[in-house]
A and B are shown apart, each in its own frame.
Chain A
Amino acid sequence: MIEVCGLTKRYGSTVAVDRLSFDVPPGAVTGFLGLNGSGKSTTMRMILGLDAPDAGHARIGGQAYRQLRWPLREAGGLLESRAFHPGRSARDHLAALAASNAIRQSRVDEVLELVGLQAVARKRAGKFSLGMAQRLGIAAALLGDPAVLLLDEPVNGLDAEGIRWIRGLLRSLAAEGRAVLVSSHLISEMALMADRLVVIGKGRLLADTTAAELSGRAPSLEEAFLQITGDSAQYQARNLS
Chain B
Amino acid sequence: MTARASHQPPGRYRFRHLARMEWIKLRSLRSTWLTLALAVIAPAGIALATGGSNTTSGGMFVSNTLVGMLIGVLLTGVAGVLAMTSEYTSGTISATFAAAPRRLRVLAAKAAVIGAAALITGEAEAILSFFAGGMTLHHGITAPALSQPGVLRAIVLTGASLSLTGLFGLGLGAIIRHTAAAITVVVGIVFVGGTFIGQSDFAIRPYLPLYIVSHSLGATGPACLPGMASCWLSPWSGLGLLAGYAAIAMLLGGLILAGRDA
Q: Which residues of chain A from 48 to 86 have a CB within 8 Å of any chain B CB?
A: 48-52, 61, 65-66, 68-75, 77, 79-80, 82-86
CA distance A144 to B9 in the complex (A): 11
In the complex the two chains form, is B6's CB within 8 Å of A146's CB?
Answer: yes
Asked, given contacts A51-B261, A82-B90, A86-B90, whether A66 binds B24 with beta carbons under 8 Å apart, the answer is no
- Among A61, A68, A177, point to the contact of B1 (Cβ < 8 A): A177
Interfacial chain B residues near A96, Cβ < 8 Å: 21-22, 24-25, 28
With an 8 A cutoff between CB atoms, is B2 at the interface?
A: yes
Determine how close the nearest CB of chain A comes to the CB of B88; give it in whole angstroms: 11
- Among B12, B21, B28, B90, point to the contact of A83 (Cβ < 8 A): B90
CA distance A51 to B94 in the complex (A): 10
Interfacial chain B residues near A71, Cβ < 8 Å: 13, 98-101
- Among A25, A26, A73, point to the contact of B7 (Cβ < 8 A): A73
In the complex the two chains form, is A61's CB within 8 Å of B6's CB?
Answer: yes
Q: Closest residue of chain A to B25, judged by CB?
A: A96
- Among B4, B29, B99, B102, point to the contact of A176 (Cβ < 8 A): B4
Q: Which residues of chain B from 91 to 105 have a CB within 8 Å of any chain A CB?
A: 91-92, 94-102
With an 8 A cutoff between CB atoms, is B128 at the interface?
A: no
In the complex the two chains form, is B91's CB within 8 Å of A95's CB?
Answer: no
- Among B2, B6, B91, B100, point to the contact of A80 (Cβ < 8 A): B91
With an 8 A cutoff between CB atoms, is B139 at the interface?
A: no
CA distance A186 to B87 in the complex (A): 30
With an 8 A cutoff between CB atoms, is B184 at the interface?
A: no
CA distance A77 to B97 in the complex (A): 11
Determine how close the nearest CB of chain A comes to the CB of B235; give it in whole angstroms: 37
In the complex the two chains form, is B4's CB within 8 Å of A102's CB?
Answer: no
Determine how close the nearest CB of chain A comes to the CB of B76; give it in whole angstroms: 19
Interfacial chain B residues near A25, Cβ < 8 Å: 1
Contact with B along A120-149 (1 / 0, CB 8 A): 000000000000000000001000111100
Judged by DSSP, the binding face of A is loop
Q: Closest residue of chain B to A178, judged by CB?
A: B4
Asked, given contacts A92-B24, A101-B13, whether A27 binds B2 with beta carbons under 8 Å apart, the answer is yes
- Among B2, B21, B30, B31, point to the contact of A100 (Cβ < 8 A): B21
Q: Closest residue of chain B to A28, judged by CB?
A: B1
List 12 A-B residue pairs with CB atoms under 8 Å apart, sorted by A's residue number. A25-B1, A26-B1, A26-B4, A79-B94, A83-B92, A87-B29, A89-B28, A93-B28, A99-B17, A99-B20, A101-B13, A101-B17
Query: Which residues from chain A sit less than 8 Å from chain B, CB to CB?
Result: 1, 25-28, 45, 48-52, 61, 65-66, 68-75, 77, 79-80, 82-89, 92-93, 95-97, 99-102, 140, 144-147, 176-179
Query: Which residues from chain B sit less than 8 Å from chain A, CB to CB?
Result: 1-9, 11-13, 17-18, 20-22, 24-25, 28-31, 86-87, 90-92, 94-102, 261-262
Q: List 6 other contacts, CB 8 Å, given A71-B99, A100-B21, A102-B13.
A: A26-B4, A27-B4, A66-B101, A71-B101, A100-B99, A177-B3
